[in-house]
């Protein structure tokens, strides 16, 4: 790691750790939608709170970025990482909100697999965010998130095939497709987080 005469602003580490926990909390809440007896409105409300919390920490990171003389990583990488973390929660909240607003019925089994993969990837992400300060042993994280995203892509394609198979009426198919797309966006955003971390680790090594 390069030597610096000027102390770096370390406030970013705690904020990224907070953002990572928020991502994992949002993914955990999302699993509640799979229970047919769940109070979906309450889950969507909790996810809106997670989305607001995500916006708050993202804004704090951006303010810190604008006032810090020496940042721990390249400014563009901090911006990219913060934005990707925010995108994850936005996508999760948007999918859940649509489930409620469109009165989507029981979610298909394959959608449950999507959510399970998201939850695992989000947990990996939260753990990685807490270890940004040292940047040690992070390669297994981005490899695993990439693997989970590839698996999520396969599940997404299977789900689309099922939706267009004729088993669903047109309106239900359209509703479920919207939710599936939102969950796929969240998986993509988690992979973008991992790519940002990999870029930072390579530059700082």
What confidence category does residue 10 fall into, taking pLDDT thresholds of 50, 70 and 90? confident
Task: Identify the pLDDT of residue 71.
Answer: 87
Task: Identify the pLDDT of residue 205.
Answer: 80
- Structure-block tokens of residue 118: 């998201």
What confidence category does residue 68 fall into, taking pLDDT thresholds of 50, 70 and 90? confident
Residue 3 pLDDT greater than 60, yes or no: no
Rounded to the nearest 10 degrees, what angle do helices 109-129 and 11-30 cross at?
Answer: 160
Task: Identify the pLDDT of residue 5.
Answer: 36
* Range 110-128 average pLDDT: 98
Measured CA to CA, the distance from residue 200 to residue 195 in angstroms comes to: 9
* Range 159-175 average pLDDT: 95
Measured CA to CA, the distance from residue 72 to residue 69 in angstroms comes to: 10
**DSSP calls for 62-97:** HHHHHH-SS-SS-HHHHHHHHHHHHHHHHHHHHHHH
* Range 131-157 average pLDDT: 96
Q: Is the pTM of this model over 0.85?
A: yes
For the chain, give every domain's residue range: 11-204
What confidence category does residue 36 fall into, taking pLDDT thresholds of 50, 70 and 90? confident
Phi, psi of 152 (to 5 degrees): -65, -35
Residue 162 pLDDT greater than 70, yes or no: yes
* Range 67-90 average pLDDT: 94
CATH number, span 11-204: 1.20.58.220
Task: Identify the pLDDT of residue 28.
Answer: 98
Measured CA to CA, the distance from residue 8 to residue 10 in angstroms comes to: 6
Residue tagged 């680790």 (tokens): 201
Identify the CA nearest to 177 among candidates 107, 93, 89, 84.
107
Identify the CA nearest to 105 among candidates 204, 176, 42, 44.
176
Task: Strands of the chain (E only): list them.
Answer: none
Task: Identify the pLDDT of residue 8.
Answer: 60
Measured CA to CA, the distance from residue 108 to residue 179 in angstroms comes to: 11
Measured CA to CA, the distance from residue 109 to residue 162 in angstroms comes to: 11
| HSE-CB for 189 with a 13 A CA cutoff | 23
Task: Identify the pLDDT of residue 204.
Answer: 87
- Mean residue pLDDT of the chain comes to 94
User: Percent of the chain having pLDDT more than 70?
Assistant: 96
């Amino acid at each position: 790691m390069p030597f610096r005469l000027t102390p770096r602003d370390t406030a970013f580490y705690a904020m990224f750790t907070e953002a990572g926990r928020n991502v994992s909390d949002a993914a955990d809440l999302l699993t509640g939608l799979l229970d047919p007896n769940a109070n979906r409105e309450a889950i969507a409300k909790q996810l809106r709170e997670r989305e607001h919390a995500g916006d708050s920490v993202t804004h704090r990171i951006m303010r810190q970025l604008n006032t810090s003389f020496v940042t721990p990583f390249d400014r563009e990488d901090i911006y990219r990482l913060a934005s990707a973390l925010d995108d994850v929660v936005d996508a999760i909240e948007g999918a859940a909100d649509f489930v409620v607003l469109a009165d989507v019925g029981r979610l298909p089994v394959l959608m449950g697999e999507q959510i399970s993969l998201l939850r695992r990837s989000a947990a990996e992400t939260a753990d990685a965010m807490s270890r940004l300060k040292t940047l040690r042993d992070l390669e297994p994280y981005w490899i695993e998130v990439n693997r989970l995203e590839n698996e999520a892509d396969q599940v997404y394609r299977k789900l689309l095939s099922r939706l267009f198979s004729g088993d669903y009426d047109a309106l239900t198919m359209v509703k479920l497709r919207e939710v599936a797309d939102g969950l796929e966006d969240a998986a993509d955003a988690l992979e973008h987080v991992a790519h940002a971390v990999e870029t930072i680790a390579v530059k700082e090594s």
